[in-house]
Amino acid sequence: MKHFYYVTIIFLFFISSLHADNHLTKKGYVVAFLDIQNKEIMSQYRKHVKPIVQEYRGKLLAASPPDFKEGYIAGLAAIIEFPSFDDAKKWYDSEENQYAKIIRDKGVKTILLILEGK
Please answer whether residues 107 and 17 qualify as being in contact, where contact means their C-beta atoms are separated by less than 8 angstroms: no
* DSSP E strand stretches across the chain: 28-36, 59-64, 76-82, 108-116
- Domains of the chain and CATH, by start: 24-116 (3.30.70.100)
Task: Report the run of H or E that residue 102 belongs to, with start and end.
Answer: helix 95-105
pLDDT in tens, 12-40: 555 555 544 555 579 999 999 999 999 99
pLDDT in tens, 45-65: 999 999 999 999 999 999 999
Per-residue confidence (pLDDT) for residue 73, from 0 to 100: 87
Per-residue confidence (pLDDT) for residue 33, from 0 to 100: 95
Size of the chain, expressed as the number of residues it contains: 118
Task: Give Dmax over CA atoms of the chain in angstroms.
Answer: 73
Please answer whether residues 103 and 44 qualify as being in contact, where contact means their C-beta atoms are separated by less than 8 angstroms: yes
Per-residue confidence (pLDDT) for residue 4, from 0 to 100: 47
Average pLDDT across the chain, whole number:
86
Percent of the chain with pLDDT over 70: 80
Please answer whether residues 33 and 111 qualify as being in contact, where contact means their C-beta atoms are separated by less than 8 angstroms: yes
